[in-house]
């Protein structure tokens, strides 16, 4: 199996007993085609047989389903850890006891603010109901947590909410940004400005350092900042935290809709992102293993991205971050992720660079960054330098190298070509051009140009080694 799934999110129903202002699915009554108990239990068996480690049951409101305890038991009895996200309105002591008896692993309640704000967003009495639910879970020893969707309605009271949650005895807290889907799409004034993502990361960092509650930024919040990594280290209690490896959709996880249709992510539910066959027409394993499955994610490459993400040093790793953020904010999963903290940092840096006119200082700064392996920032500085001095041959060659190290082979090729127009005898520019050609797929062209670079350089050893490597890899 090329891709091994470990988790899924299953929207067991679209019915809900709340009408939340930010609900991405605009949930109300259960929709037609909802899986029957028999179908749901058979799906549980398929989930276990596929080797999933854990499943998150969501909705709608999952506790609306009369057979929810049966679903939990069927999964847990086969070694699958079952998580559930609920609004807590139906989670009285009896329900909590039932879920525990049937093997629930964790229960998370959505809480979006202090009492006044939470009730305004969701329903009057919702906050107190959630607080009572936490009391039951604590008494019964059920592992619990909170999920908060951050919008302009609550971002400025996160500190107050944190204190409320700590008083409730909440141990784990996941935060995510509200995206313009469903009901929230009709409330543009609730949507966060991109810059506020850094405020959320700062808040998570300070909260994690305090150590009074574990906080987990969702995959739509990041990426690649020291503070974000530190939050993960603290909350996951490990120093072995790697850089975010991109969206799990269709790679290590998937989503299941109320009617058994399969998709990469339950948030990305437009028709073109849903697999052709549902579990009523095929098996879960056959859908997952299909060669053309989840093509929008499995076949996606850095080159498919637009804007700053297309040239980002992390582009091949994160592929633009959360695709649903890009889709809902910009209308396309190919678009730049304006909510990326690293992107915001670079844009701020570019803005400051436009005020600098000291070409020599820029070059020295770029060289220092390259020595440290900080290629993206070096490329930005050198771009500014080449704007100031378009005929600076050396700056073009060094910029080309920085772009190459960022994986931007087309830009590397263009910069080296410009340098060669100024000086056809520049062996560094010619070798850089050759390597760019090679990585763009023109292997023979790259080899031929590298041979000329070797001759031009008088047989430089490093270029001979590059040529040998290219020829060996081509064969």
- pLDDT > 70 in the chain, percent: 100
Q: pLDDT of 39-88, one tens digit each?
A: 999 999 999 999 999 999 999 999 999 999 999 999 999 999 999 999 99
- pLDDT > 90 in the chain, percent: 91
The token pair that represents 237 in the structure block: 């209690």
Which pLDDT does position 300 carry in this prediction? 96
Q: Which helix (H) or strand (E) is 74 found in, with range?
A: helix 68-76
Which pLDDT does position 2 carry in this prediction? 84
State the average pLDDT over residues 122-142.
94
Q: pLDDT of 152-196, one tens digit each?
A: 999 999 999 999 999 999 999 999 999 999 889 999 999 999 999
- pLDDT tops 90 at residue 243: no
Contact 155, 199 (CB under 8 A): yes
Q: Regarding beta strands 253-256 and 262-263, do their DSSP bridges make them parallel or antiparallel, or are they unpaired?
A: antiparallel
Contact 293, 275 (CB under 8 A): yes
Q: pLDDT of 278-334, one tens digit each?
A: 999 999 999 999 999 999 999 999 999 999 999 999 999 999 999 999 999 999 999
Cα of first residue to Cα of last residue in the chain, in angstroms, is 28
Q: Backbone phi, then psi, for 176, in 5-degree steps? A: -145, 155
Q: Regarding beta strands 214-217 and 172-177, do their DSSP bridges make them parallel or antiparallel, or are they unpaired?
A: parallel
- CA separation for the pair 119, 377 (Å, rounded): 45
Which pLDDT does position 305 carry in this prediction? 96
The token pair that represents 160 in the structure block: 């107050």
- CA separation for the pair 401, 424 (Å, rounded): 18
- pLDDT tops 90 at residue 6: yes
Q: Cβ–Cβ contacts within 10 Å for residue 207, how many?
A: 22
Among the listed residues 120, 131, 128, the one whose alpha carbon sits nearest the alpha carbon of residue 166: 131
223: preceding bond cis by omega (within 30 degrees): yes
Q: pLDDT of 337-366, one tens digit each?
A: 999 999 999 999 999 999 999 999 999 999
- CA separation for the pair 315, 47 (Å, rounded): 32
């Amino acid at each position: 199996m090329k891709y091994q799934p470990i988790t899924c999110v299953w929207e067991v129903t679209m019915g809900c007993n709340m009408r939340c202002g930010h609900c991405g699915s605009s949930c109300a009554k259960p929709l037609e085609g909802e899986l029957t108990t028999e179908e749901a239990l058979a799906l549980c068996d398929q989930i276990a047989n596929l080797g999933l480690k854990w499943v998150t049951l969501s909705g709608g409101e999952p506790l609306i389903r009369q057979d929810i305890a049966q679903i939990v038991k069927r999964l847990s009895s086969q070694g699958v850890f079952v998580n559930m996200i609920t609004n807590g309105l139906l989670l009285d002591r009896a329900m909590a006891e039932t879920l525990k008896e049937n093997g629930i692993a964790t229960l998370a309640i959505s809480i979006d603010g202090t009492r006044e704000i939470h009730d305004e967003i969701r329903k009057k009495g919702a906050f107190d109901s959630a607080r009572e639910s936490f009391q039951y879970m604590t008494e019964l020893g059920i592992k619990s947590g909170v999920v908060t969707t951050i919008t302009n309605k609550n971002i400025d009271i996160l500190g107050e909410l944190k204190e409320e949650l700590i008083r409730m005895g909440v141990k784990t807290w996941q935060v995510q940004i509200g995206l313009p889907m469903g009901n929230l799409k009709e409330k543009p004034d609730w949507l966060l400005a991109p810059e506020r993502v850094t405020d959320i990361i700062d808040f998570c960092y300070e909260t994690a350092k305090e150590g009074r509650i574990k906080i987990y930024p969702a995959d739509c919040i990041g990426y690649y900042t020291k503070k974000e990594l530190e939050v993960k280290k603290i909350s996951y209690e490990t120093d072995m935290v790697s850089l975010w490896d991109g969206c799990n959709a269709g790679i290590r996880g998937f989503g299941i809709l109320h009617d058994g249709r399969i998709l990469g992510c339950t948030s990305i539910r437009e028709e073109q992102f849903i697999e052709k066959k549902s579990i009523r027409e095929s098996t879960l394993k056959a859908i997952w293993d299909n060669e053309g499955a989840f093509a929008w994610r499995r076949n996606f490459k850095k080159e498919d991205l637009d804007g700053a993400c297309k040239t980002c040093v992390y582009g091949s790793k994160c592929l633009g971050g959360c695709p649903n953020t890009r889709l809902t904010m910009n209308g396309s999963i190919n678009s730049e992720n304006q909510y990326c903290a690293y992107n915001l940092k670079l844009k701020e840096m570019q803005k400051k660079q436009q005020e600098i006119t000291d070409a020599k200082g820029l070059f020295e700064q770029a060289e220092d960054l390259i020595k440290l392996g900080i290629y993206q920032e070096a490329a930005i500085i050198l771009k500014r330098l080449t704007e100031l001095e378009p005929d600076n041959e050396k700056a073009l060659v060094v910029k080309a190298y920085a772009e190459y190290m960022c994986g931007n082979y087309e830009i590397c090729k263009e910069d080296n070509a410009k340098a060669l127009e100024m000086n056809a005898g520049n062996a560094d520019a010619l070798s850089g051009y050759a390597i760019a050609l090679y990585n763009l797929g023109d292997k023979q062209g790259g080899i031929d140009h590298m041979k000329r670079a070797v001759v031009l350089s008088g047989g430089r050893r490093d270029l001979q080694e590059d040529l040998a490597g290219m020829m060996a890899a081509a064969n």
